[in-house]
C-alpha cells in the first residue's frame, strides 16, 4: 500500500562522478533504491521505532539516506511497518534535499523477501523501466560510507551481474548469513545462520544485507521464494540462489572496513555505532582546523558547524544545529544545544540552550542560559560580570 509520495526535487539536480563513466550512462541505466525499515526492533525495548533511534543527533535511517544521497538515485522507496506514520513524518521533514521518496507499508512482517516484493510497488515500470538497477539497504546500518556504496554499484555495472552483494569477512560470523560460492567463484547462495550446516558455519564471509540488483530479474526471482526455512519467512537472500540456478551471475564486493556494515539491533550496538560515528565527526573537524584537547570526551552532533581555530576543551557537548565562530573557545564541561557562538567568544563550564552569544563574549563558569538568551558582543555572564554590566537580554 502506498502511503505517501514526497518529491523534494528533481533527479536532474544530482551529480555523482563516483558511479558510472558519465552522466549519460547513469541516465541510460536508471538507479533506484529501497530501504527496508518495517521491523519492530523489539530488542531496542523502546516505544520509538528502531530506524529513528539517534546517532550523533540524527535518526539512524537518515544516515542511510545520506549515503544514498551521494548517488544518482532517481527514486528511493522506504518500506515502513511498525509505527509507520512516525517514520514517514520524520523522513518527510528531514530527508536529504532533492531526494524523491516513496513510502510503502509492509502490513505483516513476513521477511525481507516479502518486504522487497512490497517495495517494488513503489517502483512503477513506466517511470524507471526494467533495464535499471536497484540498490537495497537495511535501515539500521548508519555507518555505511557513500564511497563503499558507489563501489558496489560500479562493480555491479562493470561486471554486468544480475545481482551484486556487499559482503564482509568476520573473525566471528555468528548470526550472519554465510556466502557460499560456486562456479567461477560466483556467489551461489546465502545460507542463514539458523539453516547452515557445520561446514557452512565455518565460512567467514557473510552477507551484509546490502545489494544491487538488475530490476529485470528481481521481480521474477521474488515470485519463486518459499518460506521453507527455520524462521518460516520469505528471505531476500534466497533470490541469490534463484538467480544462480537460472544461469545468471551473482557477484560480490568485500567491504574493507567491517564497521561500515554493522547493524544496530539493541542499545549496546547503538552505543558502539555512535562511538564510531563520533570518531569520524571529530577527525573531520580536526582536519579542518579545530583543536580538541581530548577527542574521546568531545561530543559533536552531525548538524554542528565549527569555524577554524575553534578550541574545544574536555567535556564539550554540542547538540543540534550549533554554529561556533572562528577562534571561539569552549569548555571544559560545557553543553550547548542549538546555540550560536560568535567569533572569539569563551564559554566555560556552562549550559546554553537555543541562545545567541556575541563575538568576544564571556560566559561562565557555571552559567546556565535559558532558551532565547542573547549575550551581546563583548558581554559577560557568570559569577564575575564585566564592569560594563553587559549581560544577557
Residues 6 or more apart whose CB falls under 8 angstroms from that of 248 comprise 161, 162, 163, 217
Q: Provide the H-helix boundaries in 15-145.
A: 23-28, 60-68, 84-94, 112-119, 125-128
Grid cell at residue 354: 537555543
Distance, in Å, from the CA atom of 95 to the CA atom of 82, rounded to the nearest integer, reads 19
State in Å, rounded, how far the first CA of the chain is from the last one. Answer: 52
3-class secondary structure, 292: strand
- No. of helices (H) and no. of strands (E), the chain: 10, 28
158 vs 284: CA distance, rounded Å: 32
* Catalytic choice (4, 23, 29, 43): 43
Q: In the Cβ-directed half-sphere of 359, how many Cα atoms lie within 13 Å?
A: 5
> For cell 541562545, what's the residue?
355
Cell of 69: 544521497
Residue 383 DSSP one-character state: S
Is 43 a known active-site residue?
A: yes
Q: 337 with 352: CB under 8 angstroms?
A: yes
For residue 214, CA distances in Å to 21, 129, 248, 270 come to 18, 11, 11, 32
Q: In what order do the strands lie in the sheet with 374-375?
A: 305-306, 323-324, 340-341, 356-357, 374-375
The catalytic residue positions are 43
Amino acid at each position: 500500500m502506498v502511503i505517501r509520495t514526497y518529491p523534494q526535487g528533481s533527479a536532474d539536480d544530482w551529480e555523482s562522478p563516483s558511479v558510472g563513466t558519465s552522466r549519460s550512462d547513469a541516465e541510460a541505466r536508471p538507479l533506484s533504491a529501497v530501504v527496508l525499515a518495517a521491523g519492530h526492533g523489539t530488542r531496542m525495548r523502546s516505544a520509538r521505532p528502531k530506524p529513528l533511534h539517534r546517532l550523533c543527533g540524527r535518526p539512524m535511517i537518515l544516515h542511510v539516506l545520506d549515503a544514498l544521497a551521494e548517488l544518482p538515485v532517481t527514486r528511493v522507496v522506504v518500506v515502513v511497518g511498525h509505527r509507520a506514520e512516525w517514520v514517514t513524518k520524520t523522513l518527510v521533514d528531514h530527508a536529504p534535499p532533492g531526494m524523491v521518496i516513496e513510502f510503502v507499508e509492509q502490513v505483516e512482517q513476513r521477511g525481507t523477501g516479502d518486504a522487497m516484493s512490497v517495495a517494488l510497488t513503489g517502483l512503477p515500470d513506466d517511470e524507471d523501466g526494467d533495464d535499471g538497477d536497484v540498490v537495497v539497504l537495511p535501515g539500521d546500518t548508519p555507518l555505511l560510507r557513500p564511497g563503499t556504496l558507489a563501489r558496489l554499484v560500479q562493480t555491479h555495472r562493470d561486471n554486468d551481474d544480475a545481482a551484486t552483494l556487499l559482503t564482509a569477512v568476520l573473525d566471528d560470523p555468528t548470526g550472519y548469513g554465510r556466502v557460499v560460492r560456486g562456479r567461477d567463484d560466483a556467489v551461489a547462495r546465502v545460507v542463514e545462520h539458523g539453516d547452515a550446516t557445520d561446514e557452512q558455519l565455518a565460512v567467514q564471509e557473510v552477507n551484509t544485507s546490502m545489494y544491487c540488483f538488475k530490476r529485470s530479474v528481481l521481480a521474477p526471482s521474488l515470485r519463486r521464494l518459499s518460506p521453507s526455512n527455520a524462521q518460516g519467512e520469505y528471505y531476500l537472500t534466497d533470490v541469490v540462489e534463484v538467480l544462480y540456478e537460472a544461469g545468471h551471475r551473482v557477484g560480490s564486493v568485500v567491504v574493507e572496513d567491517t564497521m561500515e556494515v554493522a547493524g544496530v539491533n539493541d542499545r549496546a550496538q547503538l552505543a558502539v555505532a555512535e562511538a564510531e560515528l563520533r570518531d569520524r565527526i571529530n577527525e573531520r573537524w580536526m582536519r579542518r582546523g579545530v583543536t580538541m584537547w581530548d577527542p574521546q570526551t568531545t561530543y559533536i552532533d552531525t548538524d554542528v558547524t565549527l569555524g577554524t581555530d575553534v578550541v574545544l576543551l574536555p567535556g564539550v557537548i554540542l547538540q543540534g544545529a550549533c554554529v561556533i565562530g572562528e577562534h571561539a573557545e569552549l569548555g571544559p564541561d560545557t553543553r550547548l544545544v542549538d546555540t550560536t557562538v560568535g567569533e572569539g567568544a569563551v564559554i566555560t563550564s556552562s549550559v546554553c540552550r537555543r541562545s545567541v552569544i556575541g563575538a568576544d563574549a564571556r560566559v561562565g563558569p557555571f552559567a546556565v542560559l535559558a532558551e532565547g538568551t542573547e549575550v551581546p558582543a563583548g558581554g559577560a555572564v557568570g559569577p564575575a560580570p564585566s564592569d560594563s554590566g553587559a549581560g544577557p537580554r
